[in-house]
Amino acid sequence: MRPHLSISRRTRRTPFSSRVEAAGASGYTVYNHTLLATSFRGIEVDYWHLCENVQVWDVSCEKQVTLMGPGANQLAQYMTPRDLTDTKVGRCYYLPMCDEKGKMMNDAVAIKVNDRHWRLSVADSDVLLWAKGLAVGFGLDVEVREPDIFPLAVQGPKAEELMCRVFGDEIKQLGFFAIAPFIYNGQRMKVARSGMSKQTGYEVFVNDANIGTQLWDELFAKGQDLDVRAGCPNLIERIESGLLSFGSDMDHETSPFEIGLEKYVNLDANIDSLSLPALRAYTPSKKLIGLVLEYHRSLNDLDVFVGNKKVGVISSQAYSPKYMRRLAFFMCDLEALNGATEVEVNTAQGRATGTLASLPFNFEALGLTACR
Ligand code: THG
């Protein structure tokens, strides 16, 4: 018998869990102590559907750590090396969150609700505990909470059409990473143009569980002709898009410089950020690099070699049916790599050669074209 996941109150359900089950979720993971589906009809079938249609995802596991009070701005700035000085209400900000050693605590999508209120939509680590510790330790006048807000993502090329049918044509005004309030069934809810895919997508921050399930049902009723399906962040699409996953591609020992997040680190900013002194002094010796493998072979292990020398370990990988290659991210020891452009991995059929690629993947530059 295959092992199964024992679900209890500790593995929190969400307002949408019964809908996700009824839609045929075939796999789950636990993310921020909460259920997150990983597949429905199988990740390849789910993948093609996401690339061509529209899906509704229960991403309630993206917990909303809320900082409220006069010290909210100061606490938010302590937690990230990205300069928040000129941040605006109505925009989302992707933030590396780093500790005093300059190591990743989380990568979050943040919104500034107002000058005394930040909301961090967090990846899979206990940001609530860290934020509470910092608030008390620094004596900040700020309340740190995790309110009942349940993000629901609508992703795929037909997402805009479906969202317009439910929320009205004003949805079209939302630019990438913009967020604005919309009224649904008399309830004000924030909607952002964001999500864990590079397809068009939105996230609705559902703040009322009952209205949320009505919203779920209405998305399916109004999207029937668009072939709307329940879905979830898709491993294949995530890797093709070069989106990182906390816990897989980074952990509490990783520097933002090692995973391509340097563009969100403002080394020269005159700000009070816990991690900046350490980050200013740090020179990375590792880097997350893309890997393209010729054949549809499964890997025996995650080690990456140049000859007999191990140069790194794969952190995420999937077969891309669109480019007909296995794609991976691997954490590479730059000194061991010593400028090599080809590496080897162990597959079920023996050693296979892989080509290095910068992230995010540039398929055109790699000479790869989509098969459909
Ligand atoms: N949506 C929301 N919260 C989240 C996620 C989400 N929290 C956890 C996790 N996902 C955080 N990880 C990411 C990673 C990348 C992006 C979003 C969340 C992303 N990046 C864009 C890019 O890389 O091109 C844009 C970054 C930018 O322009 O600032 O979208 O999915 N609410």
Which domains does the chain show, CATH number per domain?
Answer: 17-62+148-239 (3.30.1360.120), 64-145 (3.30.70.1400), 245-357 (2.40.30.110)
Predicted confidence band at 76 (pLDDT cuts at 50, 70, 90)? very high
How far, in Å, is the centroid of ligand 1 from the Cα of 146?
19
Which residue owns the Cα nearest ligand 1 atom 25? 94
The predicted model scores a pTM of: 0.97
CB atoms < 10 A from the CB of 68, how many? 18
Mean pLDDT value across residues 96-125: 98
pLDDT digits (tens, 9 = 90+) for 205-223: 999 999 999 999 999 999 9
pLDDT at 154: 98
How far, in Å, is the centroid of ligand 1 from the Cα of 226?
26
What is the Cβ-side half-sphere exposure of residue 179, based on CA atoms within 13 angstroms? 26
Ligand 1, residue 233: give the atom nearest the CA: 31
pLDDT at 143: 98
> Which residue, chain included where needed, has tokens 């090692």?
258
Mean pLDDT value across residues 268-274: 98
Mean pLDDT value across residues 109-119: 97
Mean pLDDT value across residues 213-234: 98
231 lines ligand 1 (CB under 6 A): no
Residue 5 has pLDDT above 80, yes or no: yes
> Which residue, chain included where needed, has tokens 């979830």?
232
pLDDT at 348: 87
